[in-house]
Amino acid sequence: MQLFSGSSHPLLSQEISNQLGIPLSPLELGVFPDGEIKVRVLCEVRGKDVCVIQSVARDPHFTLMELLIIIDALKRAAARQVIAVIPYFGYCRQDRMDKPGVPITAKLVANLLVQAGVTRVVTVDLHAGQLQGFFDIPVQHLYGKEVLLKKVQEQQLSSCVVVAPDIGSVKIAQAYAKALKADFAVMSKERLSAAEVSEAILIGDVTGKDVLLADDMCSTGATLASAAKACREKGAKRIFGAVTHGLFVDGAIERIKNCPLEALWVTNTLPATDQWMNSPQLKTVSIAPLLVHALREAI
Ligand code: R5P
């Protein structure tokens, strides 16, 4: 097995490489003067199984295209199997036609990956588990909960209620509740715009209890902030959060800072920004051991 890293998250790639004990293989990555992506595989891969690590994140168009081009280069250099390790699978939220005239971009991306030559995908917390069915190749779907749960347990929450901050996160929150043997509640909210949500309405009881808000991702932070506020108003004691993917787009960390969340555990499926690193509320947990475990099984 040879490991290659795209440019989106070199720190995580290095961590995976160190834990697997397999060095990262040389790959030239750059940009032509006109902005097109330039890739060259600088080692022999003929007949070998290779693995490319790339989160489709931060600059999703660039990182997706770069991933596709790396895969093409590896296939043309006669690699046998190509495993795409995609810790954060960008574009996965556009997974159904919820209104006329919209694309199913997640399916398009799945097609592109398979067409480029991927033979197996390893990824974490797809927005909806059903997305695995978009691929006709094996998909190892991992759960960020596996690494986050330990940190949550260390906090020793008292009479904890796990709250799903919206209907979409019910499944993930239920999984936390089951693992923590905690009660469960759910928020009902409406998305008003990309960065705004309506006031959250709590269905369940959090009075005098510690709360864990569990979701797959935090993007603008509007969902978590409004859920945390509603829990506080309903008399919750301490309020924590756990999310797998920290997109933290502009204003998110500020929104989190100004809401009643005491701490938010988040994995490093996406690279941390300076603002993320400097936020005392955000507690980063590495996803590398989970990916390494999956890769050991795949090798
Ligand atoms: C939605 O279905 C997801 O599970 C998250 O709740 C959502 O993407 C979070 O977005 P934001 O942080 O922008 O509210």
Across 137-190, the runs of DSSP E, i.e. the strands, are 139-142, 161-164, 183-188
| Position 128 confidence tier, pLDDT thresholds 50, 70, 90 | confident
| Position 298 confidence tier, pLDDT thresholds 50, 70, 90 | confident
pLDDT tens profile 46-83: 999 999 999 999 999 999 999 999 999 999 999 999 99
- Higher-confidence position of 124 and 168: 124
Fold of 145-285: Rossmann fold (3.40.50)
pLDDT tens profile 268-284: 999 999 999 999 999 99
Choose the catalytic residue: 145, 189, 229, 234. Answer: 189
The residues with which 51 forms a beta bridge, in sequence order, are: 3, 83
Measured in Å, residue 29 CA sits from the centre of ligand 1 at: 32
Q: Identify the residues whose C-beta falls under 6 Å from ligand 1.
A: 165-166, 168-169, 197, 215-223
pLDDT tens profile 104-121: 999 999 999 999 999 999
b (16+ CB within 10 A) / e for 80-98 = ebbbbbbbbbbbbbbbeee
pLDDT tens profile 181-229: 999 999 998 878 877 788 889 999 999 999 999 999 999 999 999 999 9
Q: What is the pTM of this model?
A: 0.95
Tell me which residue has its CA closest to atom 1 in ligand 1: 168
pLDDT tens profile 3-59: 999 999 999 999 999 999 999 999 999 999 999 999 999 999 999 999 999 999 999
Gap between the Cα atoms of 24 and 21, Å rounded: 10
Measured in Å, residue 166 CA sits from the centre of ligand 1 at: 8
Q: Work out the mean pLDDT of the chain and round it to a whole number.
A: 95
Could you tell me the CA-to-CA distances from 15 to 42, 82, 133, 247 in Å, in that order?
Answer: 21, 20, 30, 20
CATH code, 2-142: 3.40.50.2020
List the domain boundaries for the chain: 2-142, 145-285
φ/ψ bin of 165: left (φ > 0), alpha (ψ from -120 to 50), beta (otherwise):
alpha
> Percentage of residues in the chain with pLDDT exceeding 90?
89
| pLDDT score for 31 | 98
The residues with which 202 forms a beta bridge, in sequence order, are: 187
| pLDDT score for 242 | 98
Q: Are both 2-142 and 145-285 of the same fold?
A: yes
Is 150 assigned a catalytic role?
A: no
φ/ψ bin of 117: left (φ > 0), alpha (ψ from -120 to 50), beta (otherwise):
left
Q: Which of 166, 172, 188, 245 maximizes ligand 1 atoms within 8 Å of its Cβ, making it the mutation to test the pocket?
A: 166
Tokens matching residue 145: 């909960």
| pLDDT score for 117 | 97
